[in-house]
Every structure is written in C-alpha cells, then in structure tokens.
Amino acid sequence: MDYPDEPWDLHGHGYVSLWLVPVRSLPALPPEVTAVSLFGKAIVATAFVDYLPGSLLPYHELLAGVLVRQGRRVGLSITDIWVDSPTSRDGGRELWGIPKELAEFKLVHEPTFTGTASDSSLLAEAEVRPVTPGLPLPFPVTGTVLQTLHDELARTPVRARGRIRWANGRWRTAGSLSWLTGNRPFATVKAEDFELRFGPRAR
C-alpha cells in the first residue's frame, strides 16, 4: 500500500461553484443513488482545491460531483476528479472508490483566484473573485461521499471547518467535463484556510 490509511486530514483553500444541470446530461452515477433534481435539473458542485503543505498529502485537485440521495440519505457522488499526486490518485480509488485521474494544474490565489487543469488538453479553467469578508463557520460542516467500490455502495463521511467568502465565479469546461458546457454556476464560495477530515469509510 503506497498511500496513507484513512482518515486523511487535509487543509488548504477551495473554490466551489454550484450549478443546475439537466439530469439527462449527467455522467453515470452509482446504481443505488438518484440525483437530487429540481424541474429536471440536478445540483452539481465543481471545485478547485489546493491542499497545502502540512496536510497528510499536499496536492491540487479539480472535481465535479452530483448531489444524490439514497432513500433519505443525501450525499455527493464524485463523477470526475483529477489530482497531481499519484499517491492521492491511488488512495482515492482504493480506499473510497473515487475515480481520480492525473492532471497538471496552474493555480494563482491572489488577488483573484485563477485555476487551470489539463491532461492532454484543457479540462477546466476558473476565475473566482470574493465579494464578501471571510466568515468563520460556527460549527463543522459534515457530509457523505457516495461512490461505487468493489461493486457496492461506499459511504465515506467528510467533516470540514474554516472560513467562507461569497464570490463571483466563472468557469470554462472542456474534454471530460464537456457535460457542463453551456451551463453557468448559480453560486460560488471561497473556502479559506479550511481543515478537512476525509473518512474513515463506513463499514
């Protein structure tokens, strides 16, 4: 095993946008879950994340995920994700069923965040401009990531805390993220100096 065991304790900065995307445009989801939808549109999250030195693993990340439900359970199913760490890729796949691939990143945080990720060609680029002061979260935010692992549904808890700033976000997507092209995010936040614990997966 060439990656750390769970849980993973990470910290850094993240830039998250929410979208409404036609359900018919979504990539495949685990068969046990259904997209949370509103008038035929699913709620999708995209993010550039910079996990800083001092994290269990420092690396960069681009992801897209769909808000889903399994009965009364609600969580996020990550459909597309890239990192620039082979260790993170292997751990994400084998511990939690997260389909990580490798990509190259260019991130600039100040004064306006700009991020680009590409493999053989462009995957996504984003510009995020905060418009409010940072507000500390009054309590940790918790959630669940739902993925397919060994032909079963894997549930992995996530717990995070930090500061949130509302922002304006612009994205351009291509390649494997072309299913987002033609849509626009309706909300964007910058998560500053967050701390995150990923896992351990529910047994």
pLDDT of 138: 79
**Does the pLDDT at position 1 exceed 80?**
no
At 66-112, the pLDDT tens digits run: 999 999 899 999 999 999 999 999 999 999 999 999 999 999 999 89
Does 3 fall in a domain?
A: no
Cα of first residue to Cα of last residue in the chain, in angstroms, is: 20
100-102 vs 122-130, strand pairing mode: unpaired
Q: State which amino acid sits at residue 162.
A: G
Bridge partner list, 187 = 18
pLDDT of 139: 80
HEC secondary structure over 33-82:
CEECEECCEEEEEEEEEEECECECCCEEEEEEEEEEEECCEEEEEEEEEE
Does 117 fall in a domain?
A: yes
Does 108 fall in a domain?
A: yes
Write the CA distances from 186 to 26, 66, 124, 174, 196, integer angstroms.
17, 15, 17, 19, 25
Mean pLDDT of the chain: 96
- CATH number (domain holding residue 20): 2.40.400.10
Does 2 fall in a domain?
A: no
How many structural domains comprise the chain? 1
5, HSE (Cβ side, Cα atoms, 13 Å): 0
Euclidean distance between CA atoms 142 and 174, whole angstroms: 31
Token pair for 25: 């445009």
Q: Provide the residue range defining the domain that includes 13.
A: 8-198
Bridge partner list, 194 = 12
**Of 18-22, 80-84, 129-133, minimum mean pLDDT range:** 129-133
Bridge partner list, 190 = 15, 165
**Does the pLDDT at position 56 exceed 90?**
yes
Does 151 fall in a domain?
A: yes
Does 130 fall in a domain?
A: yes
pTM: 0.96
Q: What does the pLDDT average to over 50-55?
A: 98
